[in-house]
Structure formats: C-alpha cells, structure tokens
Structure 1
C-alpha cells in the first residue's frame, strides 16, 4: 500500500504517482501519516462523484475513531464538516456575505495593497523573497480586512493558520491548542463587534437572519476560522506557485506581458495547473457501500478526492500537462464541486488576477534569482506552497 502524501519532483507539479494511478489504479488504497487508510480517487469524473454524492459524508469525519489525514479531527461546528440539512441551512445563511457586491468592494483594497507591496519590493531592491514580502502579505491583509481583524493581529492570525494546516510539521497537541486559541480570539472579536458593529463580515454575520434563524455563537466562531484558514494560506501559496509557474514557462509569461487581456484565462489555467495541496479535496467517509469504478468502497471507509490529479486528466483537458494562459475550455475542480464548492472562489480569483497584474506592471523584469532545482515545496503541510521564492529584476 502506498504512503500518502506523495513527493512531487518540482514545486507546483503533481507527484508522478498521480498520473500512474489514473491509468492503472484510479481508485487505490493509501496510508496517511496518521496511520489511517483511505481510498485515493484520481480521475476527474470520480472526483466529481465523490464531491457531489451525499453518500460520501463530511460530517462522519468528525466522529470518534474516524480515519483522518490531519493530526486532529475536524471541528463538527465548521461548515466544512457538515452534511445536509445542517450544511444547507448554514450555507444559505452565509452565502449573501460572499456575494459579488462584497467581493467588488474589496477590489480597491486589493489594488492598493498590491501597489504598496510592489513599491516596498522596489525600495528593498533585489534579490527579494516573493513569499514573505508579497505572496503572504497580500491575502492576510485582504482576509483580515474582510473579517475586521485589526492590522496589529495579522501576523498572529497567519501563525495560527500555519499550524492548523499542518500534517506532520507540528504535534497534535500543538495543533489542538492552536485551534482553541484561534477560537478564543474570534469569540473575543465577535463580542467586540456585537457591542460595536462595523462595516465588516463579522458584524454582517452577527446581524444575519433567515426567517428568524440566525448563526449560533459556535457557528459564528467556526465560520470566522473557516474564512481565515481557507482564505489566507491557500491564496498565498497559489500566488507564489503562480509566479513560479510563469517563470518556468517564459513564453507564456511573455504572452501575458504582451496581452494583459489574457489575465482571466491565465488565472484559471494557473488554478488548474498548480498542485496546491498534497492531494486536493476534503476527506469524506462512505455512509454505505458505494461502487466507484471497479472498486466497492465499504461503509465507514475514507475517500480522498485528488483534485490536482483530476485537473490533469487527459479525458477532460486537452494536452493537460501543457501550461497555456489562453486555455478556454477549463472546467477545473480547484474550488471543489457540489455543496462544498468554495464560497471564496470569486475573491481568490480577484486576488490572483490583481496580484499578477500589479507585479507585471510594477516590476516587468521580475524573474527567478536561483535555479528552479534549488526550490523545495513546503514540507509536512497540507498546503504545498513555497517557504521562499527568491526573485530579482
């Protein structure tokens, strides 16, 4: 039985095992660092099935003794960890807070922050680390601005998220303590906004009702935690991997520089092409025996959709290993599928597009300062970003 996660040959690229498994064993048993086992699903259609079929449950992953990928079980009060009808109710309540209006209102915030970060890079001078000085700073600023987290607390929040998305980097006790600390912080923020409402997402969620229904205190806290964990590190890592991908494909980078109108398709291609996490989707538990491909998954067994593999499936994507900033037909699964489709997808796309546009405009000669072979992905972590990305210009 294979050990999971697999080790990629290059940051941002899916590990070679995924391609082999898609061809030879598309539903295969793997062992996690926790010692638990799961079925790894590698084709596009099977990924959509696992993410869209309610017989594969997120809520069951919170039960005592359930198989898990990360050091501690998921929190049952998180929307990530719910099935219908609880998930349906919560998503209906919170979806308006992530609509086009609120995302559009963040555009000037993102543009201003990108301009400030690019100016700071110029002032610092080359070489510079694009991860610490740009890729991490932009999304933590945006997500804290969205929620209403004070600027002085942003580094603390970023540190919490780094620990919470660990696989083997931190011991389970530290991960559990960090989750509790983040929840205490958010409970304090909610209490403050309840007494003094402002124009931020936390205040809006506190006031939100639907036919007399409202979010409970635990739901408010966990929604804040979900927004922070989903909106910071994944976006930061995607920004860094996107620049690395463009540096590795200089002809496509030149196309983008020559025609900024390609940015929207380039963003979706980067989201498809980059292998952002160890596998991709959220772990699920089969609630009954389910036949998937040639395998019968027994009730109680875990299933992991490998989105980074699905996004390279040649039955769906023409020449899937080709990076093409003009790719039009691009139904990638990076934001998921079905009921757990990412609520922050619009915001993530907007941040990535503005980050690319601002950097290419402000530092048109930016390039790698070290050979690609010297770069290593983040180890021991669910998110396979880059610890650093040295650039020059």
Structure 2
C-alpha cells in the first residue's frame, strides 16, 4: 500500500483517507519523494499530535537521511514552520499583533475595494479563470499592502509558490530559480525598507531587528530581537503563507458553491450566513491537506502505534476534518452542522497566524462574487476542473467560470 497510498492521496484524497481511517489510525507510507513517513488520519490523534511538544518542527531533530523537504537558504529557512519554543514563541510574539481580529477588521474596507476592482476588470468578458484573475490576486494584494511591498515590486508569487509546492520532476531547475528569485526579492525589499521605512509591518519588523523600536517597546528588548535571517524568513513566510493558503481557500469555496447551486442561491439571498459557510468550507475542503511535518524528540505513541524518534510524522488535517467519529456525515457539505473544532487552520501553538485575515478575505471574496454575478457557473465540464498533484496542499490548477 506504500506507493499506491501516495498516488491515491493525489487522485482521490478523501476516498483514500476514508479507507486509511477505517484500516487504522497511523500508517507507514512512502511519500512522492520516496522517503518514508508516518501518516496520522483520525481526528482525536491528529488534534492531540498538533499540540504535542514532543513532536518537533525543527528539521535538526530529523533522523539523518530520513527527511528531504525544501532546500531553502538560511535567509528563508529560519521561519516559524521550522521552529520550536523558545525561538518560535519569541518570533511569533513579534508579529502576532498584526493579525489580531481587531486589526484585521480594519482591513475589511480595503479588501472589499480590491475585490471590487478585480471583478470590474473581468465583468465585461463574461468569463474568466477565477483562480488567475481573482482568487490569486486578491490575497497577494492584501498581504503585500500589509507588509508594504510597493506595487511595482510585486512579483509573480503564484509561479514561485507553485514551483516550491508542486515541483516539476522534469524541470527541477524551476524550483532552484524560484528560490533564487525569492531570495533576491526579499534581500532587495528589506534593504529598501531599511533605507526608507514606511507605515507597514515589514518596516516595524526591521525596526525590531535593528533595535530602533526602543528597549521594551512592543517586545523589542534584547531577548526579543530578530536575527537578519529571521527577519527575511519571517517576511518570506508571511507572504508565502498569506498567499498560498488563502488563494486555495477562496477557490475551493467557490467550487463548493458551484457544486451546490441551492446553497449558492441561499447565500446570495442571505450573505450574512457567509461567515458560517466559510467555516464549513474550511472543514469540507480546506487549503492544506497536511500540517507541517513533525519529528518526534523521543519514541511517541500515536493511536497505539509507536513512532520512533526522528522519523517524519504527517498529520492529515483533511482526513481529521472528515472523520465520522467527530463529524456526522462528514462528506456532506452542511452549514447547519456543529463544525466547532475543525482543524483546517491547525491547533495549538502553531495555529495559523493569519487565520482571522484568511477568514475575512474569503468571506468578502465570496460576497462580492455572489452579488456581482447572479448567473455564475462553471465554464466547461466539471471533470475538467483539475487539482494540483500534491498530497500536502488541496488546491486547484484553474477555475474557469462564466456569467
């Protein structure tokens, strides 16, 4: 079942996860990269593991030769997805204020304006690839505005992130080029912001790094300073995760509505229900199938299975969110269900930093789309809507629609 499992998770993820959950809570699999891993599939085990301090995110705790992962330079790799406390605690504290619900709420009007402008640009055409023209540009515009990236310096993050998340085995140079492009971009951006600070998150982080915020101001004392690699890695993570997860949450949510036209009509008539709908969309088809990999610091029992120290552990958010022992009729999209506790955005100290922003952007994106295009429908056959070949991310390659 080793290689067929990885293949099934790309071609029929929910069907494959259902079979795996039934067979057992933890499975030894071989990933697409040929490396072994332990896949955790049941809700209770995944939720506990997400908050288990014995499961490290630090790649230095992996058994040598057991894990490959991204090959990023230190200036991009020293980020929260590779850190445990106390470093994780220190760095997250420096940026968490940018993503509080109150601060995110202040972005609601600007996000609505961007959504309207993007729809203005395609309305007369009567059709578009919604991923390329709307679901992608909206989150990258918002996160670039938050960080203070000038309009003329905003590169094609979609091509870069695609090259990292779903590398083309036939063209391995594309991943290397994407990493090089990102490295040069962030180096130049930080140098520009350092020379001419603005009223933005990146300028604030540079001030913390350089000690310009004053001792004790916003946690900027000596113990809470950023190294230069941590600064660039944090900027990279905010842009990368702020784009990657939200673009697929928006596109997956639109596809769910297109597949359930009665639900789309209901939400169009009652847009106040969109906040609730977004939570169910996240549970039903969230943007990340797997949490970031973990490495046990010691032999750990997960669901009655002993996972050796240093081996790779993959926690399936997609499988946990469709576990019938936690969610009744989990394969049914149901806005009236109790979806509390879904794990689409994680759990514990590594819970998604930008969760409030992703929720708000998706709600506004759907509201604007439903209001503008009452005749919204797929442009072509449903079977032609293809997903990216990845066991990690749950995203579309394109989403052709018409109105």
User: TM-score, normalised to structure 1's length?
Assistant: 0.92
1:155 positional shift: 3.5
Give the corresponding residue for 1:255. 266
2:388 partner SS: coil
- 2:280 and 2:339 in contact (8 A); partners too: no
1:42 positional shift: 0.4
Is the alpha carbon distance of 1:169 and 1:202 closer, same or farther for their aligned partners in structure 2, counting shifts above 3 Å?
farther
Give the corresponding residue for 1:323. 333
What are structure 1's unaligned runs of at least 5 residues? none
- 2:295 and 2:309 in contact (8 A); partners too: yes
* Aligned-partner Cα distance in 2 for 1:62–1:150: 38
* Aligned-partner Cα distance in 2 for 1:74–1:218: 9
Query: Which 4+ residue blocks in structure 1 deviate beyond 6 angstroms?
Result: none
Give the corresponding residue for 1:83. 84
Is the alpha carbon distance of 1:51 and 1:351 closer, same or farther for their aligned partners in structure 2, counting shifts above 3 Å?
same
Counterpart mapping for 1:112-127 below 5 A: 112-123=113-124, 125-127=125-127
Give the corresponding residue for 1:302. 312
1:342 positional shift: 0.7
Pick which of 267-276 and 219-228 moved more: 267-276
374, 385, 394: which one aligns with 1:364:
374
Give the corresponding residue for 1:388. 398
Give the corresponding residue for 1:181. 181
Is residue 226 of structure 2 the alignment partner of residue 215 of structure 1? yes
* Aligned-partner Cα distance in 2 for 1:93–1:240: 31
- 2:63 and 2:310 in contact (8 A); partners too: no
- 1:62 and 1:73 in contact (8 A); partners too: no
1:385 partner SS: coil
User: TM-score, normalised to structure 2's length?
Assistant: 0.90
Deviations 1:192-240 (A, max 9, x none): 1122111111012122343333212111100011011101122111211
- 1:266 and 1:325 in contact (8 A); partners too: yes
What are structure 2's unaligned runs of at least 5 residues? 209-218
2:28 partner SS: strand
* Aligned-partner Cα distance in 2 for 1:390–1:115: 19
Is the alpha carbon distance of 1:61 and 1:281 closer, same or farther for their aligned partners in structure 2, counting shifts above 3 Å?
farther
Is the alpha carbon distance of 1:158 and 1:144 closer, same or farther for their aligned partners in structure 2, counting shifts above 3 Å?
farther
- 1:71 and 1:175 in contact (8 A); partners too: no
Give the corresponding residue for 1:40. 39
- 1:118 and 1:363 in contact (8 A); partners too: no
1:147 positional shift: 1.2
Deviations 1:270-316 (A, max 9, x none): 11111534x32111111111111121111111110000000011121
Deviations 1:146-175 (A, max 9, x none): 111122232333332222222445755542
Counterpart mapping for 1:122-161 below 5 A: 122-123=123-124, 125-161=125-161
1:101 positional shift: 4.1
* Aligned-partner Cα distance in 2 for 1:293–1:324: 29
Deviations 1:93-135 (A, max 9, x none): 2212222343123212210111111122212x22321111111
Give the corresponding residue for 1:378. 388
Deviations 1:48-101 (A, max 9, x none): 122111111110367683533645379651111001111111112221222234
